[in-house]
Structure 1
Amino acid sequence: MLLATLTACGGDGDAAAKSKPSVAKTAGKDRSVDCIDESIGQAEWMEHCADEDGTGGDGTAGTETLEFGETAKTAGDQNPADGSQGGEMLEVTPTTVAYQAEAMASESMNGTFAIITVKDRAPQGTATESAPIEGGGWQWIAPDGQALDEGDNDASSITPNGFTGGGMVLAGAWAWKTIAFDIAEEQRGGTIVYTDGAGATYRWKVPAQDAGPELAKLKKGMEGNY
């Protein structure tokens, strides 16, 4: 269930935010539509629910802020590079973070790797994450405001066993993937930002220390010489 603090474009400040009901508790503009029903289609969800979940009611992209470990219901990549159908709803959940100066035979150029597990689930149709080449994907916003791209330097080489998913997720299936950032030690505890296939953005504040239910498995997956 998604419990989010919405900071949509064109809002009326704190008063509007307080008066706006959570998506988890209400339908969209059409009160007969259950916005948390996984069986509804992407087009229907965008029409009736998007104004309360990351986009404006007119379809313009917005920003949604979530707690680390919460799930965002996002639009999949509309034009996957492999030509597959990937534009259905994709549930994206960052769950665990580990900080390491070295990982899987790679050494951080900036001082620290921030390694994050992400669970991608396609509840109703084939879906994929949006790609940086199309203006989508992941970034790390450090506490000092610097924006860092996923996979910079040797971070792209970090592929822990058990967390090497990504790409197409079939309807009803889910997969683990890893995103990694090369950051300075003082840039721990940043915010990860994901931009989906509809241009909406989702933000999670990341703990400044190792945390999350997959931590032991993540570290085990990075052991040894690769």
Structure 2
Amino acid sequence: MPADGGPGGGNLEVTPTTVVYAKTAMGNTAANGVYAVITVKDRASGQTAAAESAPIENGGWQWITADGQALDEGENDASSITPVGFTGGGTVKAGTWHWRTIAFDLEAQQGGTIAYTDGDGSVFKWKVPATGHGPELAALKKGMAGNYG
């Protein structure tokens, strides 16, 4: 079932594109040391609406450290990080796409791997660089600026 409870079931392409590391974001300070905020382009590639899997269905995103520790998306204050311009989520209508972000509160271990588990239990992994990087870098930093507390 999609994270928003809406219709899903279609093919969803999830593509992480950019990472920013910050000790503070959106008026919050990382409890563990640093936030890793990653943009994801969600695109429904078929004729049916699609959505990311909900964590309650054993799906969703995790950060995996170099020593194998797994952290779920949004742990601690990371769930409050929703940068302006990257606030999509939920169901993506057929033939469309939108941006969203995933955020992790890390113990200063920048760089690692993110893993996405879909509704069928398939796991997809991407390496994440240890420094801010990607085509949406400037827009993501701008979207994270300010105090939204």
The structure carrying a bigger strand percent of its residues is 2
Report how far residue 133 of structure 1 moved: 0.5
Partner of residue 68, structure 2: 145
1:190 is matched by which residue type in structure 2?
Answer: G
Report if the CA contact (8 A) 2:30-2:105 is conserved.
yes
- Where in structure 2 are the equivalents of 1:34-53 lying within 5 Å? none
Report how far residue 91 of structure 1 moved: 0.6
Structure with the larger RCO, 1 or 2 (CA within 8 Å, 6+ apart) = 2
Report how far residue 82 of structure 1 moved: 5.2
TM-score by length of 1: 0.63
CA distance in 2, matches of 1:167, 1:103: 22
Report if the CA contact (8 A) 2:6-2:90 is conserved.
no
1:148 is matched by which residue type in structure 2?
Answer: L
Partner of residue 130, structure 2: 208
CA distance in 2, matches of 1:144, 1:199: 23
Between the two proteins, the alignment pairs up a number of residues equal to: 147
Name the CA shift for 1:83/1:184 in 2 (closer, same or farther; >3 Å): closer
CA distance in 1, matches of 2:83, 2:4: 24
TM-score by length of 2: 0.95
CA distance in 1, matches of 2:86, 2:128: 18
Would you say 1:177 and 2:103 are equivalent positions?
no
2:36 is matched by which residue type in structure 1?
Answer: A
Report how far residue 225 of structure 1 moved: 1.4
CA distance in 2, matches of 1:217, 1:98: 11
1:122 is matched by which residue type in structure 2?
Answer: A
2:80 to 134, 157, 178: 157
Unpaired runs of 5+ residues, structure 1, are: 1-78
Unpaired runs of 5+ residues, structure 2, are: none
Name the CA shift for 1:163/1:82 in 2 (closer, same or farther; >3 Å): closer
- Give the secondary-structure state (helix, strand or coil) at the position aligned to 1:156: helix
2:41 to 119, 122, 141: 119
Divergent runs of 4+, >2 A: 79-85
Would you say 1:167 and 2:90 are equivalent positions?
yes
CA distance in 1, matches of 2:21, 2:64: 16
The structure carrying a bigger helix percent of its residues is 1
1:182 is matched by which residue type in structure 2?
Answer: D
Name the CA shift for 1:94/1:81 in 2 (closer, same or farther; >3 Å): closer
Report how far residue 81 of structure 1 moved: 5.8
Name the CA shift for 1:207/1:82 in 2 (closer, same or farther; >3 Å): closer
Report if the CA contact (8 A) 2:3-2:52 is conserved.
no
